[in-house]
Amino acid sequence: MGAKRDLKELISVKVLILEKGPIGTISRRCSINEIGSTESLRSTLQWIAGYGQSLHKCRVFVNYGESDDNSKLKEINLKQYGDKKISSFPSVNGMLSFVIDYINLIGRSSTSSYI
């Protein structure tokens, strides 16, 4: 018998990044990746956002709604939950959905066309 190996389950992660665009506009980037289930939230989001942007300068939200059409965002404190495994967060239709908000857009109004 061969030695047992730990297999990492891959999880689909969708991240919407809200940041400043040219001439006072709002730029939206959406990224969908497969990530190992044992990765931490902080390292996953930093890899997706890019290492040129600090996660300390943003707010992070997770979607815990029943579908993409019915989004329910909850803010995540990265100091408290950043080292938590990505697999411990709720998924919607088998995909984890996060928003990285660099411009403090979420929470300004109850309805936003950017989400």
Listed by start position, the domains of the chain span 10-101
CATH for the 10-101 domain, from 3.40.50.2300, 3.20.10.10, 2.40.240.130, 3.10.450.50: 2.40.240.130
- Global pTM reads 0.81
Q: Which burial class, exposed, middle or buried, applies to 100 when counting CB atoms under 10 A from its CB (0-12, 13-18, 19+)? A: buried
Residue 94 confidence class, pLDDT cut points 50, 70, 90: confident
Can you tell me the distance from the alpha carbon of 100 to that of 103, in angstroms, rounded to the nearest whole number?
Answer: 9
**55 φ, ψ (degrees, to nearest 5):** -75, -10
pLDDT (mean) for 46-67: 89
Residue 5 confidence class, pLDDT cut points 50, 70, 90: low
